[in-house]
Chain A
Amino acid sequence: MSKLDHSSPSDLFQSGKKETRLFAYLCAAATWSSAAILVILLSAVAFKSWGWFDWQFLTSYDSRRPEKAGVFAGLIGTFWMISFTILFSVPIGVGAAIYLEEYAKDNWLSRLIRVNLSNLAGVPSIVYGILGVTLFVRMFGVFGEGGHLDSFIGWKVEELNFWGISISLPLGEVVLAGAMTMTLLVLPVIIIASQEALRGVPPSIRHASLALGASKWQTIRHQVLPAAIPGIMTGVILSISRAIGETAPLICLGIAAYVPFAPGGIDSPSALIEHPEGMLQAPFDYFTVIPIQIYNWALDHREAYKGLAAAGIAVLLLMLLFLNGIAITIRNYSNRHIRW
C-alpha cells in the first residue's frame, strides 16, 4: 500500500506532460509553416498571372509580343511526350516489377538489381538528360554527315521514309527522344512503386489461387495484378506528374522553347480528321513542353514575360493538381474496397 501512495495515477503522467505538449507544438509549427509557404507561393502565382491566364493564353503559340503569346505548343507537346512516356514506362515498369517480385529467385544478381533500382531512383534528373542526348538525340554519332557510318563506309544516312513519314537520323530533339529520356527517368520509381504494390498483396491470396489449380500466370493475371493495380496506378500517376514538371533533362536534350507548330501538324480535332497520318509523324516531330516555355519566359527581363511565366506555372500546377486528385481518388477507392 505504502509503495503505491507516493505515486498516485496522476503523478505517473505528470512528468511527461510538458514534453508531450512541447513536441506537439513543434510538429504543429512545422506543418503550418510549410502550409503557409505553399499559400504564399500559390497566391504569388495567382497574383502575377492575373490578366495573363485566359483562353487566348491556352490556345496560342508563343509570340514575340507578350499579349499574343500562349502555352499551346507546350500543352500539346507535354501531352505527346507524356503519352509516349506512359506507353513505354508502364508496360516495362510493371513487367519488371512482376518479374522481380513473382519470378526472380533470391540470388546475388536479383539483390544487386533491387538495390540499384533505389539508387537509380535517386539519380539527379540532369544525368538522365545527358544519357538521353547521347542515346536518343545523337544516337552515339552513328548517323548523319560525318557520323561513324559516313566516315567508315561512306553511308550518309540522314533520314528514313516510310509511307510519307520522315524519321530523321539521328533522332534529334523530337517527341520520341524526350519521351524515351523521361521513360528512363520514371522507370525506377514506377518499378519500385509497383513492387511495393505487389508485395502488399498477401501471400495467402496467391496460395488460395494456386490451391484451386490456377497456374502461376493465371494467379498473377487474375488475382495478384488486379489487387495491386490501385497501388501501381498511384505510383504511375505520381511519377508521371513528376515527369510533367521536369525541366533540366529536357534543357539538356536541347528541346526548343519556341515551336510555332504542333507535332504532326495536329493542332485541332478537325486537323486530325483531315490528315490522320499526322499521328504517325508526331513522335518524330520537334516539340516543346510547358516547363521549357516557363523557363524561357522567366529568363526574359521584361515585366510582361513574368506574367506569362506565372500563367504557365498556373497551368502546370492545375495539371499536377488534377493528376494528384486522380491518384488520391484511386487510393481512397481501394482503401474502401480492398481489405485483407
Chain B
Amino acid sequence: MPELPSITPELQIECEQPQPVVATHATKIESRHLDFFYGDNQALFDVSLAVPERSVTALIGPSGCGKSTFLRTLNRMNDIIEGTRHAGEVLLEGRDVYGKKVDVVALRKRVGMVFQKSTPFPKSIYENVAYGPRIHGVKDRKKLDEIVEKSLHRAALWKEVSHRLKDSAMALSGGQQQRLCIARALATDPEVLLMDEPASALDPASTARIEELIFELKEKYTIVIVTHNMQQASRVSDYTAFFYEGKLIERGGTEELFRTPEKQQTQDYITGRFG
C-alpha cells in the first residue's frame, strides 16, 4: 500500500505570522534516525530531516559537519566509497532508498545531483546533456534534440550555446560549465535535485545566475543544497538545516532560523563566531 505523503510536523513551526508556504508542502524525501559510517568513523548521528517538495532546503554547517555526507545518502552516492555503512532510513516518497529491492540506477534517475566542481564530460555540449536520456534508453534523435533543448532552456544556458551544441563542453566558462551540469542533471527528468556547493568555485556574477536558476527550478523540483555561504543560504532557500559534528542541530524555515535560532551553536555559527 503506497503511503500517503505526510505533512512534516517539524516544519509547521511556531511562528507568529502564519506561513502557509510551510504548511502546504508535503514531504518529498526524508531521513529517519540516520547514522552513517566511513569504516569506524561515524559521520552522521541519528539524523532525522524531512525535505518538503518543490522547495529549496539548504544544509549549512562548518567543514566536516556531515552535510555533504548527508546529501550523498539521499541518492546513495556514498555507496561508491568502500567500507561505508548506515543505519536508519532514507525515505523517498515513503519508500526506503536503501531497501533491498531498490535499483540504485532508477533512484539516481529520480534524485539527480550537481557537484561542487563542474564536471563536464570531455564531449560536445549536446552529448553532455543527451548522455542521461541515452543511457536510460531514449534513442529517437528528435526526442533527444527536444530534451536537450528543454534542459538547456531550464538551466538558462540555451541562448549562449544554441548555435554551438557540437562544440566541446570543455571550451565553456566555469559558470557555463556548471549550468551545463545542471542541464545534464535535469535531462533525466529528476524529481529531486541535490546540489553540493554548486557555486563555491564561481565568480559573483555566475553565482548570481546559479542562484536565480535555483529559485526558478523550485517551481518544478525539490532542491537540497549544501552551502558554506550564509548569504546564499538565506537568499535561495525556504528551509535551512544546521549540521554540527555529524548531528542535525536545528532546522526550520530559513527566515526564522537566521533571525531567531533556538540553539546557541546555531546562533554562534550564523553570526560567524566559529566555522
Question: Which residues of A line the B interface, CB within 8 A?
Answer: 105-106, 202, 204-215, 218, 222-223, 226-227, 337-340
Smallest CB–CB gap between B124 and chain A, Å?
Answer: 11
Stretch in B42-50, B106-114, B211-219, B237-245 with 4+ CB within 8 Å of A: B106-114
Given contacts A212-B188, A227-B122, contact A204 B82 (CB under 8 A): no
Give CA–CA (A122, B75) in the complex, Å.
45
Given contacts A207-B119, A208-B115, A337-B168, contact A213 B188 (CB under 8 A): yes
Do the beta carbons of A208 and B181 come within 8 Å of each other?
A: yes
Given contacts A105-B82, A213-B105, A213-B136, contact A222 B122 (CB under 8 A): no
Given contacts A204-B119, A338-B122, contact A213 B106 (CB under 8 A): yes
Smallest CB–CB gap between B108 and chain A, Å?
Answer: 4
Encode B113-136 as 1/0 by CB contact (under 8 A) with A.
101010101110000000110011
User: Chain B residues near A226 (CB, 8 Å)?
Assistant: 122-123
Smallest CB–CB gap between B198 and chain A, Å?
Answer: 13
User: Chain A residues near B168 (CB, 8 Å)?
Assistant: 337
Do the beta carbons of A212 and B122 come within 8 Å of each other?
A: no
- The 28 listed contacts between A and B (C-beta, < 8 Å) are A105-B82, A202-B119, A205-B121, A206-B80, A207-B80, A207-B115, A208-B115, A208-B119, A208-B121, A208-B181, A209-B121, A209-B131, A210-B108, A211-B77, A212-B108, A212-B112, A212-B132, A212-B184, A213-B106, A213-B108, A213-B135, A214-B105, A227-B122, A337-B168, A337-B170, A339-B122, A339-B170, A340-B122
Given contacts A105-B82, A208-B115, A210-B108, contact A218 B135 (CB under 8 A): yes
Give CA–CA (A215, B75) in the complex, Å.
14
Do the beta carbons of B113 and A211 come within 8 Å of each other?
A: yes
User: Chain B residues near A340 (CB, 8 Å)?
Assistant: 122
Given contacts A212-B184, A337-B122, contact A204 B117 (CB under 8 A): yes
**In the complex, B56 has a CB within 8 A of chain A:** no
Give CA–CA (A212, B136) in the complex, Å.
9
Give CA–CA (A318, B264) in the complex, Å.
77
Smallest CB–CB gap between A278 and chain B, Å?
Answer: 42
Beyond A205-B121, A213-B109, A213-B132, 12 additional contacts (C-beta under 8 Å) are A204-B115, A206-B80, A208-B115, A208-B121, A212-B131, A213-B105, A213-B108, A213-B188, A214-B131, A214-B132, A215-B105, A215-B135
Smallest CB–CB gap between A198 and chain B, Å?
Answer: 14
Do the beta carbons of B170 and A212 come within 8 Å of each other?
A: no
In the complex, which of the residues B80, B123, B181 contacts A210, with contact meaning CB atoms closer than 8 Å?
B80
Give CA–CA (A227, B168) in the complex, Å.
13
Smallest CB–CB gap between A219 and chain B, Å?
Answer: 9
Give CA–CA (A81, B136) in the complex, Å.
42
Smallest CB–CB gap between A25 and chain B, Å?
Answer: 41
Given contacts A213-B105, A213-B106, A213-B135, contact A205 B119 (CB under 8 A): yes
Which of chain A's residues has its CB closest to B109's CB?
Answer: A213
Give CA–CA (A213, B181) in the complex, Å.
14
Do the beta carbons of B135 and A222 come within 8 Å of each other?
A: yes
User: Chain A residues near B80 (CB, 8 Å)?
Assistant: 206-207, 210
**In the complex, B97 has a CB within 8 A of chain A:** no
**In the complex, B185 has a CB within 8 A of chain A:** yes
Do the beta carbons of A211 and B121 come within 8 Å of each other?
A: no
Do the beta carbons of B77 and A338 come within 8 Å of each other?
A: no
Encode B171-210 as 1/0 by CB contact (under 8 A) with A.
0000000000100110010000000000000000000000
Among A210, A212, A215, chain B packs the most CB atoms within 10 A around the CB of A212
User: Chain B residues near A215 (CB, 8 Å)?
Assistant: 105, 135
Smallest CB–CB gap between A224 and chain B, Å?
Answer: 10
Give CA–CA (A207, B117) in the complex, Å.
11
Smallest CB–CB gap between A80 and chain B, Å?
Answer: 36
Give CA–CA (A245, B107) in the complex, Å.
53
Give CA–CA (A206, B77) in the complex, Å.
11
Give CA–CA (A214, B121) in the complex, Å.
13
Given contacts A223-B121, A337-B122, contact A210 B188 (CB under 8 A): no
Do the beta carbons of A211 and B122 come within 8 Å of each other?
A: no
User: Chain B residues near A339 (CB, 8 Å)?
Assistant: 122, 170
Give CA–CA (A207, B72) in the complex, Å.
11
Given contacts A212-B132, A213-B132, A214-B135, contact A207 B77 (CB under 8 A): yes
Which of chain A's residues has its CB closest to B75's CB?
Answer: A211
Smallest CB–CB gap between B207 and chain A, Å?
Answer: 20
